[in-house]
C-alpha cells in the first residue's frame, strides 16, 4: 500500500496557497491527513466522506472545510459512471507569516479556524462561494489570493454543519496510517456483508481485544458503531437515488439482516425513519 498517512501536499517553495483540481472516477480514497487546512468544493460526483468519528454523504455543490491534520477519506460512489470533480484550496495558519491571521483586521476569521478543527460542511452562501472557486483556474497568483480571502469571508459568515464530535489529535506514522487505512478500506468495500470481529482484527494484524481498544482510542466509537454508520449512509444513498426501492431491499443491500434493527438504527442516527427520510429528500 502506498501514499497513506501522512500525506504531503505538493506545494512549491515560497508558495503560500495551493489550488488543486481533482478529476477522477475516485478521489483520493485512502485515509490520509495533512498539515494544511483544506477547503473543497464538489463539482461532480457523489459518495461518502469519513472524517474523525463522522460518516456522511457528499454530493455536487457541497463545500467542506477540513482542519489541519484531520484524518479523512473521500470514497466515491462506484455506481457513478461519470468522472468526479473537486476543487480545493490548501493553506497553513502560517502561510502568510506566523502572526498574519492574528491581526485585528482578521478577527472575524477566528471562529472559522475553530470550526475547521472538527471539519465543517457549509449550508448557506454556497453559490457565492462557488462563483469564486470557478474563477480560480484562470486567475493570476494575485487574483487567487484575492479570491481566497473572498471565500474565507463568505464561509466565515455562512451557516454550517460541524461534521465530527471527536478528532484523534496524533499525527499517524506510516505503519499506523497503513493499518487504519486498511481497516477503513476493507470496511467500506465489504460493509454489505457480515463482518465479524476476528475478520477485521486480522486485517489490522491484531488480536480482537487489542483491536477493539486500538480502534476506539482513535475514533471514540466502537468498530461496530463505525460499521453501522457506513451502512446507514449507504442506505441514505439508495433511498435518495432510487425512488421505487423498498425499505426491505435497502436494508438488505446495506448489510442489515433484520429490517426492524435497520429501522431502529436508521432512526437513532438520522432522527427520521427510512420512509420519512425518503419523502423529505425527494421533496
- Would you kindly state where each structural domain of the chain is located, as residue ranges? 18-162, 191-281
Sheet containing 72-76: give its strands across: 54-58, 47-51, 72-76
Residues 199-240 pLDDT 10s: 999 999 999 999 999 999 999 999 999 999 999 999 999 998
Amino acid 215: pLDDT: 96
d(CA 216, CA 208): 12
Provide the pLDDT confidence category of residue 78 given band limits of 50, 70 and 90: low
Question: Which of 7-11, 20-24, 55-59 has the highest mean predicted lDDT (pLDDT)?
Answer: 55-59
Which of residues 282 and 228 earns the better pLDDT score?
228
Average pLDDT score over the chain: 90
Listed in sequence order, the residues at least 6 apart from 151 whose beta carbon sits closer than 8 Å to its beta carbon are 39, 89, 129, 132, 133
pLDDT at 5 exceeding the cut of 80: no
Please indicate whether the domains covering 18-162 and 191-281 agree at the CATH topology level: no
Q: Output the CA angle 168-172-176, nearest 5 degrees.
A: 110
- The per-residue pLDDT for 77 is 79
Cell readout for 101 is 491571521
Please, how many CA atoms are within 13 Å of residue 253, restricted to the half-sphere of its CB? 14
Choice between 110 and 1, residue whose per-residue pLDDT is larger? 110
| pLDDT of 2 | 41
What is the pLDDT, as a whole number, of residue 190?
95
User: In which band, very low, low, confident or very high, does the pLDDT at 281 lie, cut at 50, 70 and 90?
Assistant: low
Highest averaged pLDDT of the listed ranges 65-74, 76-85, 202-211: 202-211
User: Looking at domain 18-162, which CATH architecture does it have?
Assistant: Sandwich (2.60)
Name which residue leads in pLDDT, 143 or 46: 143
Q: Which residues of 74-104 are buried (b: 16+ CB within 10 A; e: fewer)?
A: bbbbeeeeeebbbbbbbbbbebbeeeebeee
pTM, full prediction: 0.87
Question: Computed from CA positions of residues 262, 216, 56, 191, in that sequence, does the dihedral angle turn out positive or negative?
Answer: negative
Question: 126-148 as b/e, with b when 16 or more CB fall inside 10 Å?
Answer: beebbebbeebeeeeeeebeebb
Q: Does 249 score more than 70 pLDDT?
A: yes
pLDDT of residue 176: 86
Three-state secondary-structure class, residue 234: helix
CA distances in angstroms from 181 to 9, 68, 97, 168, 238, listed in the order given: 18, 18, 33, 14, 25
pLDDT class of 3 with cuts at 50, 70, 90: very low
Q: What is the CATH number of domain 191-281?
A: 1.10.10.60
Query: What is the structure's pLDDT at 167?
Result: 87
pLDDT over 90 at 177, yes or no: no
In the predicted model, is pLDDT for residue 1 greater than 80? Answer: no
Instruction: Note the pLDDT of residue 184.
Output: 93
For residues 235-244, one letter each, b for 16 or more C-beta atoms within 10 angstroms of the residue's C-beta and e for the rest, the string is bbbbbeeeee
Instruction: Give yes or no for a contact between 195 and 257, defined as CB atoms under 8 angstroms apart.
Output: no
Q: Do the Cβ atoms of 35 and 147 come closer than 8 Å? A: no
- The alpha carbons of the chain give a radius of gyration, in whole angstroms, of 20
**What pLDDT is recorded for position 8?**
60
Identify the bridge partners of residue 48 per DSSP, sorted by sequence position: 57, 75
Amino acid at each position: 500500500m502506498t501514499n497513506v498517512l501522512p500525506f504531503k501536499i505538493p506545494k512549491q517553495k515560497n508558495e503560500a496557497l495551493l489550488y488543486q483540481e481533482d478529476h477522477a472516477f475516485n478521489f483520493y480514497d485512502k485515509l490520509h491527513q495533512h498539515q494544511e487546512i483544506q477547503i473543497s468544493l464538489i463539482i461532480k460526483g457523489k459518495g461518502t466522506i469519513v472524517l474523525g468519528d463522522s460518516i456522511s454523504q457528499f454530493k455536487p455543490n457541497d463545500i467542506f472545510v477540513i482542519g489541519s491534520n484531520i484524518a479523512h477519506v473521500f470514497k466515491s460512489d462506484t455506481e457513478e459512471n461519470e468522472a468526479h470533480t473537486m476543487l480545493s484550496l490548501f493553506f497553513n495558519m502560517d502561510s502568510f507569516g506566523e502572526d498574519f491571521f492574528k491581526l485585528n483586521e482578521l478577527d472575524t476569521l477566528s471562529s472559522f479556524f475553530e470550526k475547521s478543527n472538527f471539519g465543517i460542511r457549509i449550508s448557506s452562501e454556497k453559490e457565492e462561494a462557488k462563483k469564486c472557486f470557478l474563477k480560480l483556474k484562470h486567475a493570476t497568483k494575485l487574483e487567487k489570493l484575492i479570491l481566497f480571502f473572498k471565500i474565507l469571508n463568505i464561509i466565515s459568515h455562512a451557516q454550517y454543519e460541524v461534521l465530527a464530535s471527536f478528532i484523534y489529535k496524533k499525527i499517524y506514522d506510516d505503519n499506523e496510517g497503513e493499518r487504519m487505512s486498511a481497516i477503513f478500506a476493507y470496511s467500506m468495500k465489504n460493509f454489505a456483508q457480515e463482518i465479524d470481529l476476528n475478520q477485521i482484527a486480522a486485517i489490522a494484524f491484531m488480536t480482537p481485544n487489542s483491536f477493539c481498544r486500538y480502534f476506539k482510542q482513535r475514533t471514540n466509537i466502537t468498530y461496530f458503531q463505525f460499521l453501522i454508520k457506513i451502512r446507514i449512509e449507504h442506505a441514505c444513498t439508495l433511498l435518495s437515488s432510487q425512488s421505487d426501492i423498498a425499505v426491505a431491499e435497502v436494508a438488505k443491500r446495506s448489510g442489515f439482516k433484520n429490517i426492524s434493527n435497520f429501522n431502529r438504527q436508521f432512526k437513532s442516527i438520522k432522527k427520521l425513519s427510512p420512509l420519512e427520510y425518503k419523502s423529505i429528500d425527494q421533496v
